Amino acid sequence: MNSSDKIDELAKALNTFRTKVRQPVKSADNPFFKSKYVQLEGVVAAIDDALEETGLSYTQDVTSNGDQVSVTTVILHESGQYIELGPLSVPVSKKDAQAFGSAETYARRYSLSAAFGITSDIDDDGNAATQKAPRSQARPQYSKPAAKAESLDGQTVVKIKQMILAQFKAMPATSASGKPKPKTQAELAKMWVGVANAKVEGSQATSIETLSPRAGKWLSIEIEKQLNVLAGDHE
């Protein structure tokens, strides 16, 4: 995953998006797996409705190479910050326009759903793209999910909270760029959790206590950097 140097504004906007998004109805039938799924249009509509007034937008880049189609999804924020997710690749069994078009739709839906947390269901609506392909290639080529990470130990949780408190106390009412200081320490902590989720792959924490050890280590380093900057401002 690639991103801009800072993603704090984008992370806050994503948190707002998640409180607004409504999962689309699975209305399309998959005859192969006898299940329902959400078509690309439904995924796009659900995301576009929730994006209003968040400052977020997105773009998808589609490329093809040999017998596969790849899609990269980029989430953008009006501040100029961004996160690039992908590429996600889907195999194409036949070299014709219909097969490549089906593969593109399939890849775009999976990539967009993953980027914004849309539950579109696992199905094979891109069967025209994967027909007669080996079973091992009948799904997008995702990396194997990592094992569930353990939560932080209590001592580290306390340390991070103390660092956030120190940062909160040292922050000016308004930053040099005109950004207002968070109203409370809890608001600042919530912002940091959002940044960690966006920056550390696999992190889905809802609080400091539920951060993974990896995310906690990354967060400690980043907060330490901010404390050093604030300390320099007061020298």
Cα separation, 152 vs 132, in Å, equals 46
The CA-to-CA distance between both ends of the chain, in Å, stands at: 37
Considering the domain boundaries, does residue 190 fall inside one?
Answer: yes
Considering the domain boundaries, does residue 148 fall inside one?
Answer: no
Does one domain contain both 166 and 88? no
pLDDT of residue 150: 67
Does one domain contain both 84 and 113? yes
Which of 208, 201, 204 lies closest to 164 in space, CA to CA? 208
Mean per-residue pLDDT for 47-61? 91
Which of 22-31, 78-87, 148-157 has the lowest average pLDDT? 22-31
Q: Which of 109, 137, 165 is the last residue of a domain?
A: 137
Which percentage of the chain shows pLDDT scores above 90?
A: 23
Read off the pLDDT of residues 155-198 as tens digits, 9 standing for 90 and up: 888 899 999 999 899 888 887 777 788 889 888 999 999 988 88
Does one domain contain both 127 and 158? no
Q: Is the pLDDT of residue 73 over 90?
A: yes
Q: Is the pLDDT of residue 92 over 80?
A: yes
Cα separation, 172 vs 17, in Å, equals 28
Which of 25-29, 90-94, 103-107, 173-177 has the lowest average pLDDT? 25-29
Does one domain contain both 123 and 50? yes
Which of 52, 55, 61, 62 lies closest to 76 in space, CA to CA? 55
Cα separation, 121 vs 63, in Å, equals 24
Cα separation, 25 vs 22, in Å, equals 9
pLDDT of residue 177: 73
Q: Which residues of 52-85 are buried (b: 16+ CB within 10 A; e: fewer)?
A: eebbbebebeeeeeeebbbbbbbbbbebebbbbb
Sorting pLDDT into bands at 50, 70 and 90, what band is 30? very low
Q: Can you give the residue range of the structural domain that contains 177?
A: 154-233
Number of domains in the chain: 2
pLDDT of residue 82: 92
